[in-house]
C-alpha cells in the first residue's frame, strides 16, 4: 500500500473514533440523563432546570446523611395526584421534568425528625455544595407540660437556597397521641426576612398535625423520591392540619388557683373519659365524620389541658352536613347504648350515649350565615332551646393522648357558651339557663313527641 494511502486511512480511523467517543460522551452527559437538559435553547438556565438541579443536589446530600425524607410539596403532589391520563399528557409534552418542576420558587420535603440524629456535618456539607442555609428552631412542645425552663430548642425547619431556589425541610416529630407534629415557622430578630418568599411556603404559617403517612419509594423525573402512598389523602390532610398547642402555662396557673381533684373517683372519671374519647374517635374516623370537643370538654382542654372532673360527661360537636344515619349503629357496635335522641336531622338533632356511667353527648351544629347553632330539648316539656356561636373552623389539638379537633377560635367559642367568666370553675350549671348563648326556641308539637323525644 502506498504510504500516502496508509496515512489517509489512519486519519479516517482516528476521525471516526473521535466522533464515536464524542457521541458516547454526548449520550452519557445529555441524552441519557433523566431530567431536563442543563441548558435551554437560549443557553440560559431555565427556572425548571434550576429547580430540578437543586432538588437533585439536595437529594444526593440527603441520601449521604441518611435523612428519612418524603416529598411534601403540595404543588408537586397535586401534579402527581391528577388522573393518569393527564399525567401521560404531561409526560408526552415535557418528557424530562413533569412533577418536580412546579415553577414555584420552593420545593418542600418533610423529615422524620425522630429518626435523625442532629448533625452539624449535614449543614456544613450543604454549604460546601453551595447552599445557603437558614435554620429555624423553637421550643420542644413535648416538654411544655413539664414545668421546665430548659431553654433547649429543637430544629423545626431548614431552608436551603441554591441559585435562588428554596428547599424547605419540615421537621416532623412524634407526639404522644401517636401522630406527627411540625412547628410554626417564626423568624427571630436579626434573621433575613428576604431569604425566601415566606408567604409562599406551604408549611409553617401554623403548627400542623398529621397521621403517620405510609410512604413509597418512587422515581420522579429521574430522581429517587419517597412520597405518601395515598397522595390525595395526604393533600386533603395538609389543608386541615393546623394544630393548636394547649396553653400549658395558663393551665398551670389555673391549677394553682384551683387544684385538681385527685380523689380516686376523679382519677377514675378521667380514665373513663379518656377511653370514651378514644372510642368516639375510633368509631367516627371510618365513617369520615369529623367531630370536635364541645361545651365542658372543650373548656377543660382550653382552661386546664385536661378534663373537668365534676363535669360527668363528654361533649362533642358534629356539623349536621356530616351526619350519617349509621352513626347510631356504629356507636352501638362499639359497645355504647343510646340513651336519648332528640330532634331531627332538619332541626336540633342531639344524641346521647352511655358507656359505663359516663355520658357521651353528641350535638349537631347547624350553619346559618355567620353563625352556627345547636339545639336542646327538654324531654319533660318538649321545650326547645338554641345555643348560638360565632362561625368557626376546626383545628387539631391534643387531649388525653388523643389527636382531636377543637374550634380554632376556641376563646370566642367558649366565651359565647360560658361568658366572660369562663375561667372560673362553676359547679352548678343548668343547661337551660346558665349558658350565655341560650335562647328559647318554642316547643315541639305534642303530636311529634314520640318521634322527636326518644328516651331509652
Ligand atoms: C386515598 O384516600 C382517600 C381518602 O382520603 C380514599 O377515599 C381513597 O380510597 C384512598 N385511595 C387508595 C388507593 O387507598
- Based on the fold, state whether residues 252 and 235 are members of the same structural domain: no
- Based on the fold, state whether residues 158 and 99 are members of the same structural domain: yes
> Which of 212, 239, 266 finishes a domain?
239
- Based on the fold, state whether residues 264 and 339 are members of the same structural domain: yes
Q: What percent of the chain has pLDDT over 70?
A: 86
Residue 207 burial (CB < 10 Å; 0-12/13-18/19+)? buried
- State how beta strands 402-407 and 132-139 pair: unpaired
Residue 37 has pLDDT above 50, yes or no: no
DSSP label of 174 = E
pLDDT recorded at residue 29 = 45
Residue 326 lies in a domain: yes
> Which of 239, 271, 296 finishes a domain?
239
Q: From the CA of 291, how far away is ligand 1's center (Å)?
A: 20
Ligand 1 site-directed mutation target among 81, 233, 288, 290, most atoms within 8 Å of CB = 233
Residue 143 lies in a domain: yes
Residue 85 has pLDDT above 50, yes or no: no
233 lines ligand 1 (CB under 6 A): yes
Residue, of 427 and 285, whose pLDDT is higher: 285
Q: What is the pLDDT of residues 56-69, one digit of tens each?
A: 999 999 999 989 89
Q: Name which residue sits closest to atom 11 of ligand 1, judged by CA.
A: 230
Domain that holds residue 268: 248-455
Closest CA to 180 of 149, 157, 212, 150: 212
Which atom from ligand 1 is nearest to the alpha carbon of 236? Answer: 5
pLDDT recorded at residue 97 = 83
Longest dimension (CA), the chain: 124
- Based on the fold, state whether residues 229 and 264 are members of the same structural domain: no
- Based on the fold, state whether residues 322 and 357 are members of the same structural domain: yes
Residue 220 CA to residue 11 CA, distance in Å, equals 45
C-alpha cell at 264: 380516686
- State how beta strands 337-344 and 453-455 pair: antiparallel
| DSSP-derived 3-state class of residue 285 | coil
pLDDT recorded at residue 354 = 96
The average confidence (pLDDT) of the chain is: 89
Give the confidence band of 38 by pLDDT, cuts at 50, 70, 90.
very low
Q: From the CA of 370, how far away is ligand 1's center (Å)?
A: 33
Residue 270 CA to residue 209 CA, distance in Å, equals 24
Residue 197 lies in a domain: yes
DSSP label of 260 = P
- Based on the fold, state whether residues 260 and 231 are members of the same structural domain: no
Residue 439 CA to residue 22 CA, distance in Å, equals 85
Q: Name which residue sits closest to atom 2 of ligand 1, judged by CA.
A: 233
Residue, of 207 and 17, whose pLDDT is higher: 207
- Based on the fold, state whether residues 87 and 222 are members of the same structural domain: yes
Residue 36 lies in a domain: no
Which atom from ligand 1 is nearest to the alpha carbon of 288? Answer: 4
- Based on the fold, state whether residues 202 and 335 are members of the same structural domain: no
Give the confidence band of 117 by pLDDT, cuts at 50, 70, 90.
confident
The CATH number linked to 367 is 3.30.460
pLDDT recorded at residue 146 = 66
Average pLDDT over residues 155-164: 96
pLDDT recorded at residue 45 = 65
pLDDT recorded at residue 28 = 46
- Return the minimum-mean-pLDDT range out of 57-61, 130-134, 342-346, 428-432: 428-432
- Based on the fold, state whether residues 294 and 227 are members of the same structural domain: no
Q: Name which residue sits closest to atom 6 of ligand 1, judged by CA.
A: 233
Residue 306 lies in a domain: yes
Average pLDDT over residues 436-449: 95
Average pLDDT over residues 315-338: 97
232 lines ligand 1 (CB under 6 A): yes
Q: Residue 395: phi, psi to the nearest 5?
A: -125, 160
pLDDT recorded at residue 116 = 75
Give the confidence band of 242 by pLDDT, cuts at 50, 70, 90.
very high
Q: How many CB atoms lie within 10 A of CB 271?
A: 13
Task: Give the chain's domain count.
Answer: 2
Residue 403 lies in a domain: yes
Residue 426 CA to residue 300 CA, distance in Å, equals 12
Residue 1 lies in a domain: no
253 lines ligand 1 (CB under 6 A): no
- Based on the fold, state whether residues 53 and 194 are members of the same structural domain: yes
pLDDT recorded at residue 10 = 75
pLDDT recorded at residue 409 = 98
Residue, of 43 and 46, whose pLDDT is higher: 46
- Based on the fold, state whether residues 234 and 287 are members of the same structural domain: no
Instruction: Indicate the Cα dihedral angle 263, 268, 269, 275, nearest 10°.
Output: 150
Residue 243 CA to residue 206 CA, distance in Å, equals 7
Q: Name which residue sits closest to atom 4 of ligand 1, judged by CA.
A: 233
Question: Residue written as cell 365542658?
Answer: 296
Average pLDDT over residues 242-250: 96
Q: Residue 98: phi, psi to the nearest 5?
A: -95, -30
Question: Residue written as cell 430544629?
Answer: 155
pLDDT recorded at residue 31 = 39
Q: From the CA of 233, how far away is ligand 1's center (Å)?
A: 6
Residue 68 CA to residue 24 CA, distance in Å, equals 36
| DSSP-derived 3-state class of residue 144 | coil
Residue 298 lies in a domain: yes
> Which of 194, 218, 239 finishes a domain?
239
Average pLDDT over residues 394-405: 97
Q: From the CA of 230, how far away is ligand 1's center (Å)?
A: 6
Q: Name which residue sits closest to atom 3 of ligand 1, judged by CA.
A: 233
pLDDT recorded at residue 90 = 53
Residue 170 CA to residue 106 CA, distance in Å, equals 12
236 lines ligand 1 (CB under 6 A): yes
Which atom from ligand 1 is nearest to the alpha carbon of 230? Answer: 1
Q: From the CA of 234, how far away is ligand 1's center (Å)?
A: 10
Q: Name which residue sits closest to atom 14 of ligand 1, judged by CA.
A: 230
Amino acid at each position: 500500500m502506498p504510504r500516502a494511502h496508509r496515512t489517509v486511512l489512519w486519519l479516517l480511523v482516528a476521525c471516526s473514533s473521535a466522533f464515536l467517543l464524542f457521541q458516547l460522551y454526548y449520550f452519557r452527559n445529555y441524552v441519557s440523563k433523566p431530567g431536563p437538559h442543563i441548558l435551554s435553547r437560549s443557553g440560559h438556565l431555565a427556572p425548571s432546570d434550576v429547580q430540578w438541579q437543586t432538588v437533585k443536589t439536595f437529594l444526593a446530600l440527603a441520601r449521604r446523611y441518611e435523612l428519612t425524607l418524603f416529598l411534601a410539596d403540595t404543588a408537586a403532589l397535586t401534579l402527581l395526584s391528577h388522573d393518569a391520563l393527564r399525567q401521560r399528557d404531561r409526560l408526552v409534552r415535557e418528557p424530562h421534568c413533569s412533577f418536580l418542576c412546579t415553577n414555584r420558587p420552593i420545593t418542600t420535603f418533610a423529615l422524620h425528625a425522630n429518626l435523625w440524629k442532629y448533625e452539624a456535618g449535614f449543614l456544613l456539607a450543604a454549604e460546601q455544595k453551595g447552599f445557603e442555609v437558614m435554620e429555624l428552631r423553637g421550643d420542644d412542645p413535648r416538654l411544655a407540660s413539664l414545668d421546665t425552663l430548659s431553654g433547649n430548642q429543637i430544629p423545626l425547619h431548614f431552608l436551603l437556597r441554591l441559585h435562588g431556589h428554596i428547599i424547605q425541610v419540615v421537621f416532623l416529630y412524634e407526639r404522644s397521641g401517636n401522630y406527627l407534629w411540625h412547628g410554626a415557622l417564626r423568624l427571630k430578630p436579626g434573621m433575613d426576612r428576604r431569604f425566601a418568599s415566606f408567604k409562599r411556603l406551604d408549611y409553617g404559617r401554623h403548627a400542623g398535625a398529621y397521621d403517620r403517612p405510609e410512604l413509597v419509594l418512587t422515581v420522579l423525573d429521574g430522581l429517587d423520591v419517597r412520597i405518601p402512598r395515598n397522595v390525595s389523602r395526604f393533600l386533603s390532610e395538609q389543608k386541615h392540619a393546623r394544630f393548636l398547642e394547649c396553653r400549658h402555662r395558663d393551665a398551670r396557673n389555673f391549677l394553682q388557683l384551683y387544684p385538681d381533684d385527685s380523689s380516686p373517683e376523679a382519677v377514675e372519671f378521667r380514665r373513663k373519659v379518656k377511653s370514651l374519647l378514644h372510642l368516639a374517635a375510633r368509631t367516627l374516623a371510618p365513617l369520615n365524620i369529623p367531630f370536635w370537643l364541645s361545651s365542658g370538654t372543650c373548656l377543660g382542654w382550653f382552661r386546664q389541658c385536661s378534663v373537668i372532673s365534676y363535669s360527668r360527661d363528654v361533649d362533642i360537636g358534629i356539623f349536621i352536613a356530616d351526619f350519617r344515619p349509621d352513626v347510631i349503629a356504629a356507636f352501638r357496635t362499639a359497645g355504647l347504648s343510646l340513651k336519648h335522641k332528640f330532634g331531627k336531622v332538619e332541626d336540633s338533632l342531639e344524641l346521647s350515649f352511655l358507656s359505663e356511667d359516663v355520658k357521651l353527648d353528641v350535638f349537631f351544629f347547624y350553619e346559618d350565615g355567620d353563625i352556627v347553632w345547636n339545639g336542646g330539648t327538654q324531654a319533660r316539656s318538649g321545650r326547645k332551646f338554641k345555643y348560638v356561636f360565632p362561625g368557626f373552623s376546626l383545628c387539631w389539638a391534643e387531649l388525653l393522648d388523643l389527636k382531636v379537633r377543637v374550634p380554632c377560635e376556641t376563646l370566642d367559642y367558649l366565651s359565647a357558651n360560658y361568658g366572660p367568666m369562663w375561667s372560673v370553675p362553676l359547679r352548678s350549671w343548668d343547661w337551660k339557663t346558665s349558658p350565655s348563648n341560650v335562647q328559647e326556641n318554642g316547643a315541639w308539637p305534642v303530636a311529634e313527641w314520640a318521634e322527636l323525644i326518644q328516651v331509652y
